[in-house]
Structure 1
Amino acid sequence: MRSDYCGALGTANIDETVTLCGWVDRRRDHGGVIFLDLRDRAGIVQVVFDPDTEEHFRRADSVRSEYVLRVTGRVRARTEATVNPAMATGQIEVLGKELEVLNSAATPPFQLDEYTNVGEDVRLQYRYMDLRRPEMQNRLILRARVTTAVRNFLDAEGFLDIETPILTRATPEGARDYLVPSRTHPGHFFALPQSPQLFKQLLMVSGFDRYYQIAKCFRDEDLRADRQPEFTQIDIEASFLEEADIMALCERMVRELFSTVLQVELGAFPSMAWSEAMERFGSDKPDLRIPLELVSVDDLMQQVDFKVFRGPADDPQGRVAALRVPGGAGISRKEIDDYTRFVSIYGARGLAWIKVNDLAAGVGGLQSPILKFMPEAVVAEMMQRLGASDGDIIFFGADRRAVVNEALGALRIKVGHDQGLVSDDWAPLWVVDFPMFEDDGKGGLTPLHHPFTAPACSPEELVANPAAALSRAYDMVLNGTELGGGSLRIHQRDMQEAVFRILGIEQVEAEEKFGFLLQALQYGAPPHGGLAFGLDRLVMLMTGAQSIRDVIAFPKTQTAHCVLTDAPGEVNEQQLRDLSIRLRQTRETPDSP
């Protein structure tokens, strides 16, 4: 039906007769000559119709935006005065000879260009129109190039693309499962996989020592800008490799990916222990483009009587930390109040601050309501430790360690962006040496990653002091976003059972939920490990999109609703009976008199 893509034409095609198919991006009538900008996924080309082709000129005059056309014409060079350097095809145009209207179109619900400011719900309701916009087309084209590059790399490294089940058994992996009722087993349910974790481990036991899959995963959890109920992972697993081997392979893959797709050469991938990342940045995925760091001042605050600082400083579970912002003394009191409200989102009960106006003048050159609670010697030592200079502002967090880290870590990001302190570089990082467990808030422990992560100690050492155990896990971080997380896995039954016991999963429950895995570990399971990259997050970063919804063809909203198809929806009574399901009716509260 067509000979070429619109956006693929160039000066090499001059004097060729071409047939194009696409949508009318814009129509212009210039004194009896009609110009049509014809668009397809490759780009836009200008087509010119003049009255010499009377029938086709009349058709060109009748078409409107988003009509679907088939056009035949001759490629010619534009005059020097009409060359459009903003268009990839701006040096040529097509002199139209024939025009066929393949379909008409209603008026679009919004403008189909990068300047559209329509709400996201409208864009998602008419997603098939939104996806016609060049910005969206380019993002999905880049996504396809990413998956192709990943497949090519892993295929060349001897990995096999193996599919794992979508209908599986519910297992605890940190989020709620999407459950699927079974018609043939009334009262029983499948679960959609949160990840292919257990199946890829079983593939290692099966002898497929290098596996990968671009896998759909599902988690029924509250959504954020970088979360969706269904998402895509680049899932990798290999046997007989150590952490350093897997990290080196994945780092090389990401380097090649950025070089091939974006022509970007990533710099060094430094490694940083989890404890250092939390101490310096308050986050296990620090954005190294921002030159701000948290500094602990607990020892200094133990010398003051100010209870707000002294209490957390004396508490083994507490922390007092400072965040110095160079040149931030110009931040207004209103902005400080806004930052105070911001950190309250993360549980902080306030935000103390000191402005450094004249460091040489001692305490008299500082401005803050908290200075009256601090001895001059403590203030002087603190200024020296923080490397304070005239014109700086210093923010303080004092609370439980987790609250301080999260609040000041988030403030560091926000202030960095507000003050224009973010560099334009790409800043990759490996975070390693994660704790094996964290406090679940109920007096027990929960895995920081998942319960199949291998600890960096023996089963006996793990049982003796589980809270102090480190795991053999590693996360790849880029510009403050976790691209992927992985670990070496537990490959021996006694270690896996020890982890289950620490998590409060006793033998009977372990056999019920994970008996197939425990049994497989008895039959010569090799040492193995892997890593899963979030494809949606990766493409979001590479395209500069603000949300993963902008790099997924048909995403859900933040309430897990598909505006386009109005899913989830109701089903009829017969379908429910087939599944042996009876809906509980919500009792309406009577109106009060």
Structure 2
Amino acid sequence: MSFSCHKNCSGSAEIASISSYRTHTCAQLSEDEVGCKVRLSGWVHRVRDLGQILFIDLRDHYGVTQCVFYSSCSRFIDAQKVSLESVIKVDGVVAKRSPETVNEKISTGGIEVVVESIDVLSMAGPLPMNVNSGKEFPEETRLKYRFLDLRREKLHKNIVLRSQVVNFLRMRMIEQGFLEFHTPILTKQSPEGARDYLVPSRLYPGEFYALPQSPQQFKQLLMVSGFDRYFQIAPCFRDEDPRADRSPGEFYQLDIEMAFATQSEIFEVIEPVLRSVFCEFGGGASVTNIPFPKITYEDAMLLYGCDKPDLRNPLVIRDLTEEFSSNPCPPFSGAISGGGVVRALVIKADIWQKNSLQKSFFRSLAQWAEREKAKGIGYVTVEALDVSDEASFSGPIAKFLNERHRGNIFSTLDLGVGDRVLFIADEKSLAESISGKMRIHLGETLGLVRDGSFELCWIVDFPMYERDKDSGAVIFSHNPFSMPQGGMDALCSEDPLSIKAYQYDIVCNGIELSSGAIRNHVPEIMYKAFEIAGYGKDHVDEQFGGMIRAFHYGAPPHGGLAPGIDRMIMLLSGAKNLREVIAFPFSQQVRDLMMDAPSAVSADSLKELHIRVVR
């Protein structure tokens, strides 16, 4: 089919190779087609009725074209009756707009179509929400009428972007020698940290399949099966509570696994893929150069108070525990004597002045800290650089700081006149959490977070184990399938809480895109690793029988990761939550409001599945 227009020798226009519904899309026409007879189909986006002339902005997937109906048109009355979002087909001639009516905001803004005939293909009823405005509507309405919501420009572009990014990622992985495989959707329940979605078996009463939380075991089995580089745009299912960066129910990830690969080799392969997608679709934003920074988990918790730092925020947390340990200071001595720590953040004088901050800022910060369940925040202001001068600091805790304290703080924090120092003293995990949240709060409140950039980093050397806060037992802290650093020797001879794992996260702008690891592929090491976490050999064989059995027959060293597709699109589109980049998401209450799911099923269906509902 041709979308071209041919003019005959007499100067009149005729449609060439006309389709049933259109010769052009609503974004194709330009001044090159002036005088051409065309056919367009689409949705009625806007209507402006001026009495003797009617304007309809016609919209399709590609764009918008202005259509003009004069009262002399035989179908003028019909055109006046069409409602917004009705689907119509029009035939007409392309005309050039006068200079004062050109619309620079759309690609077809230099022309309009003078309509000769109109066919109403589908008349729309009263709309529960407008499509042609940027007005916000309740999320419940948007999700119930998602098919209307998806017609809105911003959301429509997000879903198009999603398709483009997925296709781009697929091509980049294939270029790197990866093969795409599809792993099962119906599988065995696996304790991977979240609740499973269970599917009852009709043929095996009382037994259930589970939807995969990830293709973790299957992709490892592919490596054992002799394949070298695997990837998949993988659907994953987890019955977990929603939040802004986590979609309840299902999500998609770029699932990757490599055989005979070290951690550094995996980084070398994946970094160009991730950087290229942010360069290609990031709208000109700067992107971290390769190699990405590598930050140990321990340093991340110290410097940023979390394991997914936003490096666009220049604030860095400093540890002052040692400076106050040997020389007690009343505001901090209680925390330190109980094994706690002292952390500090500095607001430089120029930032204070730029934001025109007053002392009331500390009162608002104290209120914020109270909401975050912090015990309190101390602060001082640098008044002079002479550390022997009693007036070198002012503020509520300045009177508790002796000359040695002031000297230590000055030298450690590299302070200047007018700088403000904020202190948090508490048990280590709480001090990390509060100082990390305060770093984010200050970065946003003071406008410190750099816009127009995607800053990526690796978090490495995660602890293999941690202590459960309730029971005190040693448990896995991250991925139980990870290889411990030091292998069997470390598991047998070292304190479990000191053992690091070959685990890593990739983080972008404070969002965790992926966790990954070099896998534990040696049966004896896996049994020992699970034994330390309180699981016997029988449990490992029962829960992971397929994988552990395969490892007894020759398994290569292997590793991988799985960057979240939804989170990447959220970052690239600037969306505030994942529902803005998913075509048909669940609500916050984990319901599909459009299809009304979940829903009750018939008694016959339950009987066939050997299930009885107990309310």
TM tier, smaller: over 0.9
Secondary structure of the structure 1 residue equivalent to 2:562 = strand
Which structure 2 residue ranges, 5 or more long, are not aligned? 1-20
- Per-residue CA deviation, residues 74-93 of structure 1 (Å, 9 max, x unaligned), is 22322211111122221222
Using the size of structure 1 for normalisation, the TM-score is: 0.93
Residues matched between the structures, number: 583
Q: For 2:161 and 2:486, locate their aligned partners in 1 and report how far apart those are by CA, in whole Å.
A: 42
Q: 1:222 to 1:358 in 2, by over 3 A?
A: farther
Deviation at 1:315, TM superposition (A): 4.4
Q: 1:304 to 1:557 in 2, by over 3 A?
A: farther
Residue in 2 aligned with 1:364? 391
Which structure 1 residue ranges, 5 or more long, are not aligned? 586-593
Q: Tell me the amino acid that sits aligned with residue 508 of structure 1.
A: D
Which residue of 427, 430, 442 corresponds with 2:455?
Answer: 427
- Note if contact 1:204-1:525 (Cα within 8 Å) is conserved in structure 2: yes
- What does 1:454-465 align with in structure 2 at a 5 Å threshold? 454-465=483-494
Q: 1:103 to 1:336 in 2, by over 3 A?
A: farther
Residue in 2 aligned with 1:325? 347
- Per-residue CA deviation, residues 398-455 of structure 1 (Å, 9 max, x unaligned), is 1122211121112111211111111122211122222222222222233332111112
Residue in 2 aligned with 1:20? 40
Deviation at 1:496, TM superposition (A): 1.2
Residue in 2 aligned with 1:588? none
Secondary structure of the structure 1 residue equivalent to 2:223 = helix
Secondary structure of the structure 1 residue equivalent to 2:213 = coil
User: Is 1:310–2:333 an aligned residue pair?
Assistant: yes
Secondary structure of the structure 2 residue equivalent to 1:116 = coil
Q: For 2:439 and 2:280, locate their aligned partners in 1 and report how far apart those are by CA, in whole Å.
A: 33
- Per-residue CA deviation, residues 438-493 of structure 1 (Å, 9 max, x unaligned), is 22222223333211111221212123222111111222111111122211111111
Residue in 2 aligned with 1:446? 475
Q: Tell me the amino acid that sits aligned with residue 448 of structure 1.
A: S
Q: Which moved more, 1:434-443 or 1:360-369?
A: 360-369
- Note if contact 2:278-2:454 (Cα within 8 Å) is conserved in structure 1: no
- Per-residue CA deviation, residues 514-557 of structure 1 (Å, 9 max, x unaligned), is 12211100111111111101100000000000001100111112
Q: 1:332 to 1:15 in 2, by over 3 A?
A: same
- Note if contact 1:19-1:73 (Cα within 8 Å) is conserved in structure 2: yes
- Note if contact 1:359-1:366 (Cα within 8 Å) is conserved in structure 2: no
- What does 1:442-591 align with in structure 2 at a 5 Å threshold? 442-465=471-494, 466-585=496-615
- Per-residue CA deviation, residues 55-87 of structure 1 (Å, 9 max, x unaligned), is 2x2222112211111122222322211111122
Residue in 1 aligned with 2:377? 351
- Per-residue CA deviation, residues 233-288 of structure 1 (Å, 9 max, x unaligned), is 11011112221221122111122222333454623222222222211111211111
Which residue of 276, 279, 301 corresponds with 2:302?
Answer: 279
Q: Which moved more, 1:252-261 or 1:142-151?
A: 252-261
Q: For 1:51 and 1:164, locate their aligned partners in 2 and report how far apart those are by CA, in whole Å.
A: 61
Q: 1:312 to 1:250 in 2, by over 3 A?
A: same
- Note if contact 1:194-1:218 (Cα within 8 Å) is conserved in structure 2: yes
User: Is 1:266–2:287 an aligned residue pair?
Assistant: yes
Which residue of 90, 105, 118 corresponds with 2:109?
Answer: 90
Residue in 2 aligned with 1:115? 134
- Per-residue CA deviation, residues 131-181 of structure 1 (Å, 9 max, x unaligned), is 110000000000000000011111222222111111111111111112222
Residue in 1 aligned with 2:3? none
Secondary structure of the structure 2 residue equivalent to 1:524 = coil
Q: For 2:579 and 2:357, locate their aligned partners in 1 and report how far apart those are by CA, in whole Å.
A: 34
Q: Which moved more, 1:191-200 or 1:480-489?
A: 480-489
Using the size of structure 2 for normalisation, the TM-score is: 0.90
Q: Tell me the amino acid that sits aligned with residue 439 of structure 2.
A: R
Q: 1:444 to 1:376 in 2, by over 3 A?
A: same
Deviation at 1:345, TM superposition (A): 5.7
Q: For 2:346 and 2:439, locate their aligned partners in 1 and report how far apart those are by CA, in whole Å.
A: 9
Q: 1:283 to 1:108 in 2, by over 3 A?
A: same
Residue in 2 aligned with 1:416? 443
Q: 1:320 to 1:64 in 2, by over 3 A?
A: same
Q: Tell me the amino acid that sits aligned with residue 142 of structure 2.
A: R
Residue in 2 aligned with 1:589? none
- Note if contact 2:343-2:425 (Cα within 8 Å) is conserved in structure 1: yes
- Per-residue CA deviation, residues 286-307 of structure 1 (Å, 9 max, x unaligned), is 1111110100010222255555
Q: 1:214 to 1:59 in 2, by over 3 A?
A: same
Residue in 2 aligned with 1:35? 55
Secondary structure of the structure 1 residue equivalent to 2:318 = strand
Deviation at 1:377, TM superposition (A): 3.1
Q: Tell me the amino acid that sits aligned with residue 293 of structure 1.
A: V
Q: 1:354 to 1:565 in 2, by over 3 A?
A: farther
Which residue of 42, 46, 66 corresponds with 2:66?
Answer: 46
Secondary structure of the structure 1 residue equivalent to 2:71 = coil
Q: For 1:487 and 1:398, locate their aligned partners in 2 and report how far apart those are by CA, in whole Å.
A: 34
- What does 1:171-250 align with in structure 2 at a 5 Å threshold? 171-229=190-248, 230-250=250-270
Q: Which moved more, 1:167-176 or 1:354-363?
A: 354-363
User: Is 1:300–2:323 an aligned residue pair?
Assistant: yes
- Note if contact 2:39-2:90 (Cα within 8 Å) is conserved in structure 1: yes
Residue in 2 aligned with 1:165? 184
Deviation at 1:343, TM superposition (A): 4.1
Q: Which moved more, 1:358-367 or 1:285-294?
A: 358-367
Q: 1:455 to 1:77 in 2, by over 3 A?
A: farther
Q: 1:565 to 1:336 in 2, by over 3 A?
A: farther
Q: 1:413 to 1:497 in 2, by over 3 A?
A: same
- Per-residue CA deviation, residues 485-520 of structure 1 (Å, 9 max, x unaligned), is 211111111111111111111011111111221110
Q: Which moved more, 1:549-558 or 1:254-263?
A: 254-263
- Note if contact 2:27-2:65 (Cα within 8 Å) is conserved in structure 1: yes
Which residue of 22, 26, 51 corresponds with 1:2?
Answer: 22
Secondary structure of the structure 1 residue equivalent to 2:287 = coil
- Note if contact 2:342-2:425 (Cα within 8 Å) is conserved in structure 1: yes
Q: Tell me the amino acid that sits aligned with residue 377 of structure 2.
A: L
Q: Tell me the amino acid that sits aligned with residue 377 of structure 1.
A: R
- Per-residue CA deviation, residues 319-375 of structure 1 (Å, 9 max, x unaligned), is 210011223385456654444454456552222223445566955364432233332
Which residue of 73, 89, 93 corresponds with 1:74?
Answer: 93
- Per-residue CA deviation, residues 183-209 of structure 1 (Å, 9 max, x unaligned), is 221221221111100010011111121
Residue in 1 aligned with 2:14? none
Residue in 2 aligned with 1:254? 274
Deviation at 1:308, TM superposition (A): 4.8
- Note if contact 1:228-1:560 (Cα within 8 Å) is conserved in structure 2: no
User: Is 1:388–2:415 an aligned residue pair?
Assistant: yes
Q: Which moved more, 1:395-404 or 1:139-148?
A: 395-404
Q: For 2:315 and 2:334, locate their aligned partners in 1 and report how far apart those are by CA, in whole Å.
A: 26
Which residue of 167, 172, 175 corresponds with 1:148?
Answer: 167
Q: 1:76 to 1:242 in 2, by over 3 A?
A: farther
Residue in 1 aligned with 2:17? none
Q: 1:365 to 1:104 in 2, by over 3 A?
A: farther
Residue in 2 aligned with 1:590? none
Q: Tell me the amino acid that sits aligned with residue 248 of structure 1.
A: E
Q: 1:71 to 1:508 in 2, by over 3 A?
A: same
